[in-house]
Structure 1
Amino acid sequence: MAVAMAACSLGLHLTPDNNNNNNTNCFAPILKTTAMYDTSKPCFILHKTRLLSSAITIVPRATAVSNVEDGNQSVADTVPTPVVIIDQDSDPDATVVEITFGDRLGALLDTMNALKNLGLNVVKANVYLDSSGKHNKFSITKADTGRKVEDPELLEAIRLTILNNMITYHPESSAQLALGAAFGLVAPKEPVDVDIATHLTIADDGPERSLFYVETADRPGLLVDLVKGITDINIAVESGEFDTEGLLAKAKFHVSYNGKAIIKPLQQVLVNSLRYFLTRPSTEESSF
């Protein structure tokens, strides 16, 4: 008998209540990639309705600069690809967010303040340079608990807040972001999903879990929709990483079924379900 599942936070285990098909037991551990999970903490349960872009409250910021750089950006100037990475794997105690936009990003103090307005603490921040530009990394925890963010709706709010801030202070980035189609000064030249195909793959990651890779066109609410689509078929999402790279979204989820790696037949169910849900053209190639 099918059990109605609610999408829960990244880092959770879902188990059906056999005595009542209308109830779902849900436990969210603290995410740790090298230790067994503590299933004693109840998690936030999402409503089954899809999260729309209007459901995210973008925190107001200080007045934005009205022009790009000096106000006269050269046509020949190549605008770098905006990248926002939300990493739930590298730190067991905090959510790590990395923001890159060539060498154009400053200290991002307004972005940090906007995150604080979401009820978050930035416990650590650092900047490093490499060939792709300046990388700003924040370690974030919830202000009320001091723990990493596990609720996918809040993770999506973090992502959209960062992207909205980027568009505000760097309006040239809006042409390369799905969010720019709705909120940016310059919308993408083509519809977001024209040249971006969906690619889904699953690989074993030991006997107790699998790695599920998703690559698709970005849109507001995508992270929540992906977690809901996975958990709706009784698969647990233990941790993961969500990357926004321009118009492209790339996600990596650690998933399991009844505490075990996902077997081949269920892998096919998961892939078919998500491919249908995302309704994008498929491809045999991936940039992972």
Structure 2
Amino acid sequence: MAFSNTIFSVTQFSSSFATRPSSTIRRQTRFPAQISSPDLSPALFGDRRNFVEGVMSLLTKSIRSRVYASINSIDATTPSYPKSEDDDDVVPMPMVMIDQDADPEATIVQLSFGDRLGALIDTMRALKDLGLDVIKGTVSTQGSIKQTKFSITKLDTGRKVEDPDLLEQIRLTIINNLLKYHPECSEQLAMGETFGIKAPEKKIDVDIATHIQVKEDGPKRSMLWIETADRPGLVVEMIKVMADINIDVESAEIDTEGLVAKDKFHVSYQGQALNSSLSQVLVNCLRYFLRRPETDIDSY
């Protein structure tokens, strides 16, 4: 029905357009008298009629071509609107989260990149190469963002991942796969500086981006929040800093949001929560290290 209405409107337009020569002549007769009288010969009307018919023929063909293209398109029922070039330039923020607390039996890995991620077969294969087993995978959608969640365990033990070095390998492996199969995300990841097709244009000021907080989480452990500029090896380095002052890391949630790392650690000292003095020592050590990434940890 929509197509017939469109073509019908063109016919109306054609008939009205074809009557315009006579109205144009009436306007011309109102010009001052010194202007010569218009040519009203039949030959003139014949030439104009041929011109109008030629234009309308081209216009009708153009309309029909658009109608046929709509019928043959993938989604003929959906109106087609011009797409802004800015829509293609908007790259969603890549996010990778590794959670040690959500499941007592497995390490949870969650990643999203707008609606651009596929089945992630290559990512699962890369995790298997690390000696890991993906025992469960789910996909959920929140608005325009598709979130993929994996439950992984170690192949040799069937238990969740406890080794900090392996946790960091998991994180870097996933980010490396994002850079490989979605190179457009390189501007929004710290690893894009070295491994991406284009380095991030905006650099994060470490002094401004770094926030550290320690709070009690019961009598046996404390919760440590760290937000800072991301870089390869960050998780392992932070855990080493804590180990240097005899603080134990019981579990972790490692969250990478674009260029920013947002991590949570359950920590303890000799099986107890950190007191205020030790909490301050921990914050100072981490702040000193994070704000000076070139500083050798041994200089503590």
Structure 1 length-normalised TM = 0.70
1:254 to 266, 274, 278: 266
In structure 2, the residue matched to 1:105 is 117
Residue 83, structure 1, aligned to residue 92, structure 2: no
Which amino acid in structure 1 is aligned with residue 271 of structure 2? G
Residue 158, structure 1, aligned to residue 173, structure 2: no
Larger Rg: 2
CA distance in 1, matches of 2:226, 2:245: 16
2:141 to 125, 129, 148: 129
CA distance in 1, matches of 2:155, 2:92: 33
- Partner deviation per Cα, 1:154-178 (whole Å, 9 max, x = no partner): 1111111100101111111110000
- Partner deviation per Cα, 1:14-47 (whole Å, 9 max, x = no partner): xxxxxxxxxxxxxxxxxxxxxxxxxxxxxxxxxx
Q: 1:196 to 1:186 in 2, by over 3 A?
A: farther
- Partner deviation per Cα, 1:80-117 (whole Å, 9 max, x = no partner): 11000000000111110000111111110110011111
Counterpart of 1:165 in 2: which secondary structure? helix
Residue 131 of structure 1, CA deviation: 2.6
Gaps of 5+ in 1: 1-72, 282-288
Residue 217 of structure 1, CA deviation: 0.2
CA distance in 2, matches of 1:154, 1:132: 31
Note if contact 1:192-1:218 (Cα within 8 Å) is conserved in structure 2: no
CA distance in 2, matches of 1:194, 1:276: 11
Q: Sequence identity of aligned pairs in percent?
A: 63
Gaps of 5+ in 2: 1-83, 294-300
CA distance in 1, matches of 2:94, 2:208: 16
In structure 2, the residue matched to 1:93 is 105
Structure 2 length-normalised TM = 0.67
CA distance in 1, matches of 2:211, 2:87: 33
Q: Which has the higher helix share?
A: 2
Q: Which moved more, 1:74-83 or 1:140-149?
A: 74-83
Which amino acid in structure 2 is aligned with residue 185 of structure 1? I
In structure 2, the residue matched to 1:116 is 128
In structure 1, the residue matched to 2:232 is 220
Residue 145 of structure 1, CA deviation: 0.9
In structure 2, the residue matched to 1:4 is none
CA distance in 1, matches of 2:192, 2:207: 17
